Amino acid sequence: MTTVTPRQAGDPRPDTLGMRLAHRAMLKDCHRLTALLQQLAAEPVEPPRAAAVAAYVGDFCDSIHHHHSAEDDVLWPVLAASAGPHVDLAELSDDHAALDPLLTRIRAGATAFAARPADEDTATALAVDLAELRDTLDEHIADEEASVLPAIEEYVSVTDWAAVEGEIRTRAKLTFEAPRVVAVVTPDEYAALAKEGGVMLRLLLAVLVPPFRRRERRVFG
């Protein structure tokens, strides 16, 4: 985006539901993956399931990286240009930078777990790293939702927000993201999404959700 037109008083506010749902899905997965690896450290698992767990962890790490990279590259410039001195993104950007080495460590831990699923130490090490990620994301997302989302709703125009969301969607792996988001919506939120997405959204979910649910069963049991 090269031109930003800040929201004016009385203009409609952008709908940040999509970002809230992405955060909700992220936190859900981080908590349940941590619990799963803590369980598997005490209960050795067969190689096929270990491989499924490792692949899921890898996709999850990619999802987090793409999300915060899109915030840094796409959202932050628009928000800074729209809100000016009313928002300070430095600490949140520092959090993003700190996440990358942790995600790299988790990916390596998942690979080690897939290679040696009966080794209690590999599962324990991965569980410890996932717990660190869980605690980091709990705090980071709480801060972001308390400061960034109200600033978006106050200062970013509907047009600019639609462009931001469109760019972020192009970076998403829909086969992974869409089913996870659908799993955390309330009935009212789903109705709002279905109204906006229409038949195309329902068809997309009909294709993506069933195989993803089978994948989840292989991973989480």
pLDDT at 1 over 60: no
The domain 17-172 having CATH identifier 1.10.260.40: the answer here is no
CA 210/CA 217 separation, integer angstroms: 11
The predicted-structure confidence for 49-107, as pLDDT tens digits, reads as follows: 999 999 999 999 999 999 999 999 999 999 999 999 999 999 998 889 999 999 999 99
- Are 147 and 95 contacting, i.e. CB atoms less than 8 angstroms apart? no
Per-domain residue ranges of the chain: 17-172
> Residue 217 corresponds to which tokens in the numbers above?
């069963």
CA 16/CA 161 separation, integer angstroms: 9
pLDDT at 37 over 90: yes
Q: How far is CA 218 from CA 52, 55, 61, 106, 221, in A?
A: 7, 11, 18, 20, 6
Give residues with Cβ within 8 angstroms of 65, minimum separation 6. Answer: 99, 100, 103
Average per-residue pLDDT in the chain?
Answer: 94
